[in-house]
Structure formats: structure tokens, C-alpha cells
Chains A and B, each alone.
Chain A
Amino acid sequence: MEDKVLLVKDFRKVYGDFVAVSGISFEVPRGEIFGLLGPNGAGKTSTLECLEGLRQPDGGTLDILGVNPAREPHKLRNLIGVQLQSSGLPPTMTAREAMRFFCAYHGVAPRDDLLERLGLQGKQDAQFQSLSTGQQRRLALALAVAHKPPVIFLDEPTAGLDVGSRAELHTLMQELRDEGLTILLATHDMAEAEKMTDRVAILLKGKIVATGSPTELTATGTGFTKVSVRTERAVLMDNHTAFPAVSQWVVREEYVIYWSTDPGPTVAAILAHLSAQDDRLIDLRVERPSLEERFLELTTG
């Protein structure tokens, strides 16, 4: 498998007559954060659960560092760490007990340092049910990485978190990636996927409809770049001059927004026009389409 940590090939999962996943394939190399995106029912959870050994696949190959999750669960458990969406801890278990409990089953020493690193100092003896959502998520992540697995599965890790907790978790994920861990991230949060992942696969009705880095995916969409311009005298509002490479334009509040297939000549022409009209530029924004826009384009047709 060379440096491939995770291999999914022609993977299928069916429930009765319903095909949840229909022959998907992807590979994840060491040290990559790979995003699994898709609307509800796309097959993300089925894929994750089969990779985690919670369900049996109905076809294809699943391989994590040479281990088949369905046939070798005893080998799998020390290779993966899983932060489940519902954090999966008994309500009366304290953070310290949880750390000792899970580390004991993995045969490693408890990592109380992780609790402190994840901002749970002073909460070691608090019961799980008394922790805030953010603290519960951080504890779940601490437990997922405590036995130093090479692969981590994160299912909606920042759902329900405030901005600060979300940023902290993102920083930790980046640190883990920098330490060489491979992360499979399932999320609905496109901004998170765009910021955190090296590559993503977009699932729709059990099939991968797009795969690549967020930049590659956004570049392969409609190909339009958004150019937003605000000027002092607003001469562009009444301008009917066709700027090069512009397919359409609209006025939104004090901005004129152009969709351009080649933003360089478009911006140059706009600036030349403003100069000729003796208008002064206040704000100019050139934006690639976001991953969310590309995702909606793919999933809604």
C-alpha cells in the first residue's frame, strides 16, 4: 500500500433493498486530513461505520494499514481512534475515569496530560453529564487519541460548539496532522472542510461525485470568479460597458458584482474604466467560489 494508510475500493453497503453505498473508492495517505462530505443519507456514516468495524461491508475492499476492519477487529482497535458524533460515554463517568478506563482496555498508560492540553484541567473529576458540549467533544477527542493511533475518525467533531471551542479543536487537528496522524473527517460544515482538509470526497446517493483538494474542487465548478467593486461615485452602477470575460453582473447594496471567467483582464478593465471616469475605488474583492457553493452545485444539480 506504499504510504497509503487507508484504502477503500469498490466498497458497497446495502440495507435490504436500499443501497447505501454503491462501489466507492478512495485512498488516504499518511498525514492527510481527508474530508467525507455529503448530505444526510449520502452514505458517509455507513462508510465510517464499516471502516470502524461497527458494520460488515457487503462488497469491495476496506483496508487500514493492512488490516481488514471486518475480519480483524482485535488488530483494528489499536490502529484507530474514533470520536463518535454522540460521544458515547456513560453519563456518570468522570473524565479521569474515562481516560483510565479506555487506556486500560488499550493496554497503555492513562494520558492525563491530554486532558490538560485540551482545556479540561479542573474538570478531571466532573461527570460526563455535567460537562458542556464543547468539553464533552474535547474529552471524546482526548480519548480517541490517547492510545496514539495512526488513524483517527472524526464525525462532525465541531457540531454544536461555540466559536472558541471550534477554533481550539481545529488547532488540535492541525497539530495531530503535523505529528503524522491521518484523519478522516466527516462533516456537514463546508467552511470547516475547506479550512481543515487536504482532500475531500463528496458523496451523493452512495456514490462519490467529486474528489480532490478543496481548491481543485472549487476550480472545476462553473469556473466563475466573483469580482465585487465599490466606488466613491458609483459610476459602475449605470455602466453598461461589457468588461472582458464577464458573463453577468448584479448590483447588491453599494457593490457591483461581476462573474468573470478570467478575473485578471476583468479587474484591469474595471480599474481603467474607473480612472477614465474619475471615480475612486473604495473596495475591490476577488473571490473564488467557496466549497459550499461547489457542494450545492454538485448535490442540487
Chain B
Amino acid sequence: MTAFLHHFAYEFKTGLRNPSLLMINYLFPLGFFVMMGFVMTAINPLFQASMVPAMVIFAIVAATVLGMPGPLVEAREAGIFRSYKINGVPALSILAIPGLTTGFHALITAAIITLTAPLFFGAHAPVNVGALVGITLLTAFTCAALGMLISVISANSRATILWSQLIFLPSMLIGGLMMPLDVLPEAVRPFSALLPTSHAMQLFTGWAYNEPVIFNLPVSALVLALSGILALALSIYLFNWDTRNQIRRGHPLMALLALAPYVASMFLK
């Protein structure tokens, strides 16, 4: 337990000390939030209805999918995991503790957004705060697990950026953050179900705001939970201590299994 606490404390402080992580955990999502608050609400007043969940999901995806994998891959490349292995640090701690602390940072940002958006930008406040908290935690868990999986399967830092952007960019475009899913073209809408942000956004809309949705909400909740569990399990299974030692369990393509719940959801209405 002492080891866990020391490890957690160090990783949490790293999220503030490391300039890149400070940027991706706080400055980038909060800066984007302020910009959207001034610009988007002026262009499209309807955005006020979805601003809180959209910016909360944005903060979570930025911290976990964009920010977390890079330092983990760099640590593996620098031989830090070798040192951890020799000193008895378990693989689960190496992955899960940064996941937890990153999720913690994202939750702080989410809380700032949730509390200030209605005050400063006229954003709609949730009608069911309990649901908001629960969905935020579920989204943070799923995205953190996907971030861990990206860090495990990335051969190097450049590959990490590619995998992260493969989730981040489509999430921005068709993941329900910038525009509601029901206004997407018919041909594109099914593909939005492949993204965790779409399911998270639908859950917020339906359960935290009691607004109409186009996804089956229990299915979306199940998809996020299953995807998170699968991504976590695959991260631990595919974990590699050492860039120089290529012997590993399984093939990195096994990571695609974490997307299976999203694919299945395309056919479950």
C-alpha cells in the first residue's frame, strides 16, 4: 500500500511538473473551453445545451488519449521500465497508476468546466448530477484504458501520436462534441458509433439532461464499460517491459479487440 501511495503521489505530481502534461491536462482543455465559450456560443446558441458534456468529454479525451500514452512510451524507450522491473514494480502499477492519476487530473478539469460553464457562458446545467458524475467516471475509465492500450502497442513515440489522433480527430468531427449526432449525414451516423465520445455524449444527453437521444443508452453504457475492461485487460496482456526485448505475449493487432463493443453497437439499436 505504501508503494502504491508513493507511486500515485509521484505520478500525480508529474501531471503538474511535466510541462507537456500540464498543457494537455489543464491548459489545452481549459483554453479550448474558454474559446468555445466565447466563440461557439455566439455562433450557435444551441451549443449551450451540450457545452458542459462536450467540454468534459474533450478534457477527458485530451488528457487520457492524447496526453497519457506519450510519457509511458518514452519511459519504456528510456529503459525506465527495466529499472522498475528489477526493483519489483508490477506491470499493473506501471499502467494503472498513470491511468488513475491522469483520470484524476481530467476530473479536476471536468469539475472546473461543469461549475463555471453555466456561470460564464450560459451553458445548461445538468438536471441529474448523479448521472453526470457516473458517466464522467465511466468515460474517464474507458478513455484511460484506451490510452494505456495505445501506450502498450505503440512501437515508438511517433506511432503513439498516430494512434492517439486516430481516436481524437474523428471524435472531434463525428463524435458528437461539436455537433449533435442527429444532425450528422445519414451515411456518416453509423460510424459515429465506433467512437467512445459518441456513446458518452449520448449518455450525458439522455441521463444527465433528460434530452432525447438516438442511441440505446443501456447499450452505450455497456459498450463503454466493456471497451474499458477489454482495453485494460489487453494492455496488461500485451505489456512489454523493454523496447530492446521484443519477446512479448500476443500480437499488437489484438488491441483491435477493444473496439469490438463499438462495432457490435453499430448493429444494436
Q: Which residues of B contact A93 (CB under 8 A)?
A: 10, 14
Q: Which residues of B contact A86 (CB under 8 A)?
A: 78-79
Q: In whole angstroms, how far apart are the Cα atoms of A11 and B85 in the complex? A: 22
Q: Is the CB of B79 within 8 A of A88?
A: yes
Chain B interface size, under 10 / 10 to 19 / 20 to 34 / 35 or more:
20 to 34
Determine whether B44 belongs to the interface, using a CB cutoff of 8 Å to chain A: no
Q: Is the CB of B86 within 8 A of A77?
A: yes
Chain A interface size, under 10 / 10 to 19 / 20 to 34 / 35 or more:
20 to 34
Q: In whole angstroms, how far apart are the Cα atoms of A86 and B80 in the complex? A: 9
Known: A92-B17, A100-B6, A105-B3. A77 touches B79 (CB 8 A): no
Determine whether A285 belongs to the interface, using a CB cutoff of 8 Å to chain B: no
Which parts of A79-124 form the interface with B (CB within 8 Å)?
A: 80, 82, 84, 86-90, 92-93, 97, 100-102, 104-107
How many residue pairs link A and B with beta carbons under 8 A? The number is 67
Is chain A's binding surface mostly helix, strand, loop or mixed? loop
Q: Is the CB of A102 within 8 A of B75?
A: no
Q: In whole angstroms, how far apart are the Cα atoms of A56 and B78 in the complex? A: 21
Determine whether A52 belongs to the interface, using a CB cutoff of 8 Å to chain B: yes
Q: In whole angstroms, how far apart are the Cα atoms of A88 and B78 in the complex? A: 7
Q: Mark B1-34, 1 if CB is under 8 A from A, else 0.
A: 0110111001001100110000000000000000
Q: Is the CB of A88 within 8 A of B6?
A: no
Q: Which residues of A contact B86 (CB under 8 A)?
A: 52-54, 77, 80, 82, 84
Determine whether A74 belongs to the interface, using a CB cutoff of 8 Å to chain B: yes
Contact of B6 among A55, A78, A101 (CB under 8 A): A101
Q: Is the CB of B80 within 8 A of A106?
A: no
Q: Is the CB of B82 within 8 A of A104?
A: no
Nearest B residue (CB) for A98: B10
Contact of B82 among A54, A105, A143 (CB under 8 A): A54
Known: A54-B85, A54-B241, A92-B18. A104 touches B75 (CB 8 A): no
Nearest A residue (CB) for B7: A101
13 further A-B contacts with Cβ under 8 Å, apart from A77-B88, A84-B82, A84-B83, are: A56-B247, A84-B86, A88-B78, A88-B79, A88-B82, A88-B83, A90-B75, A92-B14, A93-B14, A97-B6, A101-B3, A106-B87, A107-B3
Q: Which residues of A contact B (CB under 8 A)?
A: 52-56, 73-74, 77-78, 80, 82, 84, 86-90, 92-93, 97, 100-102, 104-107, 127, 143
A-B contact pairs, 19 of them (CB 8 A): A54-B241, A54-B242, A54-B245, A77-B86, A77-B88, A78-B88, A84-B79, A84-B83, A84-B86, A86-B78, A86-B79, A87-B83, A88-B80, A92-B13, A92-B17, A93-B10, A104-B3, A104-B5, A106-B88
